[in-house]
Amino acid sequence: MRGDITLKILERVKDQTLDGVSLFGAFLTCGYGASFDQIKNKAYRSSPKDLKDNVPKDDWKKINDRFLSMCRRLENDNLIEKSKKDNNYFFRITKKGREKVDALRDKKRRSLPASKYGKKDSSKLNIVMFDIPEKEKRKRDWLRGALLNMGFEMIQKSVWTGNVVISKEFMKNIRDLAMVEFIEIFEVTKQGTLRSLK
């Protein structure tokens, strides 16, 4: 997501002035060159000049074009400013850039993760019960979408069941969203006595 990458870049520049080489390194390690995983990994150990010598010319051009485009965009948006000294360029964050960092952090804190998790059958029945306050309605809607995508079925609006494995990523997201206190998850290994009376 572009906002996430912009935030990472601005955070790198936030507390210090970076020269062009350091900004390029931040650019490579923050996801702009994400399709160039091998190059990105080399970036931790190499200078841009060393990288250029060891990267196919076409790939290098793509990376360099992306880097220059990012610099222009951040400058045009007045988020960073560039200065030149002794044939070297230096970049520092502007007041507007600092405000952008705060806004992007706030947006990231309020955003919800994708509710798509892989479906995987289980021999055990899982029951998910929740009571999420009305002020957290967005999180409640996200939770219902996530349960549906994992293969759970709704018994009542706040009670869902399914013979599915609960994703570890889902559990992590529940913790990250501070929803643990509102949700109970039970794993049933034996049928209840009422079912045997049918």
pLDDT in tens, 106-127: 887 777 888 788 788 888 899 9
- Which architecture does CATH list for 2-110? Orthogonal Bundle (1.10)
Tokens linked to 160: 């869902």
DSSP, res 55: S
Domain with CATH 1.10.10 in the chain: 2-110
Angle, CA 191 vertex, CA 155 and CA 128 arms, to 5°: 35
Contact call for residues 26 and 40 (beta carbons, < 8 A): no
Domain with CATH 3.30.70.240 in the chain: 121-196
Q: Which of 5-9, 40-44, 166-170, 177-181 has the lowest mean pLDDT?
A: 40-44
If 0-12 CB within 10 Å is exposed, 13-18 middle and 19+ buried, where does residue 106 land? exposed
- Indicate if the pLDDT at residue 180 is higher than 60: yes
| pLDDT the model gives residue 198 | 47
How far apart are the C-alpha atoms of 26 and 11, rounded to whole Å?
10
In one-letter notation, the amino acid at residue 77 is D
pLDDT tens-digit series, residues 23-62: 877 777 775 544 444 444 544 445 555 656 666 677 778 8
How far apart are the C-alpha atoms of 171 and 75, rounded to whole Å?
40
pTM over 0.85: no
- Which architecture does CATH list for 121-196? 2-Layer Sandwich (3.30)
| pLDDT the model gives residue 170 | 92
Q: Which residue has the tokens 């070297």?
A: 88
Angle, CA 173 vertex, CA 169 and CA 179 arms, to 5°: 140
